[in-house]
Amino acid sequence: MEKVTVKTMDGKEIVFPVHTLKDGRKIAITSKHSFKFSDGTEFRLPEDFPLDFVDALTVQREFRNIPEALPNKASESVQKLSDSSLKILRELKLKVDIVLVSFMIISALKEMGIRDDFSAVLAMNSTSETAREVPEKKIVDIDNWAW
């Protein structure tokens, strides 16, 4: 299995697994989950792979009360990425074609107003045939990534 190593702000090295699609594009995986891709390739994390990478990208959430919702109690969350997470994303995007992340990371980049700075950072869209399946049965559509 291919891998890519990046350094955190404190100098610690974190290893991310890399999956290669049939067309040669390299994808840094940021989740410990398995993925099936629409080109027929599959990613499975080896059992002995260090899991430091799973917690490397953290989204910080802040909540703001919404008084307009009274008498109901409601809050709005604002998501942002830590400086350390941004550094990791900046390094990863230079080493692979795609950095596959969760939708929460995409949302945080948008809320921070820096989404366009991370064009290689994408989330998965499933194929239309598997869109309503449970996560384990979804197939990642390699021709339609989530922005």
The residue whose two tokens read 């929460």 is 104
Is residue 91 within 8 Å of 75, Cβ to Cβ?
no
Determine the structural domain holding residue 22 and report its residue range.
2-140
The residue whose two tokens read 């992340």 is 101
Using H for helix, E for strand and C for coil, what is the string for 16-28?
EEEEECCCCCEEE
pLDDT at 109: 98
Is 102 a domain residue? yes
pLDDT at 120: 98
pTM, entire model: 0.91
Cα radius of gyration rounded to whole Å, the chain: 17
3-class DSSP assignment, residue 123: strand
Phi-psi region of 66 (alpha: psi -120 to 50; beta: other; left: phi over 0): beta
Q: Exposure pattern of 100-123 as b/e (b: 16+ CB <10 Å)?
A: bbeeebbbbbeeeeeeeebebbbb
Is 146 a domain residue? no
The structural domain count of the chain equals 1
pLDDT at 1: 86
Rounded CA-CA distance 37/19 in Å is 10
Is 12 a domain residue? yes
pLDDT at 25: 98
The one-digit pLDDT tens for each residue of the chain (147 residues) are 899 999 999 999 999 999 999 999 999 999 999 999 999 999 999 999 999 999 999 999 999 999 999 999 999 999 999 999 999 999 999 999 999 999 999 999 999 999 999 999 999 999 999 999 988 899 999 999 999
Is 75 a domain residue? yes
Distances (CA, A) of 53 to 2, 6, 65, 112, 146: 14, 10, 33, 23, 21
Structure-block tokens of residue 33: 């989950």
Is 22 a domain residue? yes
Is 89 a domain residue? yes
Is 120 a domain residue? yes
Phi-psi region of 125 (alpha: psi -120 to 50; beta: other; left: phi over 0): beta
3-class DSSP assignment, residue 19: strand
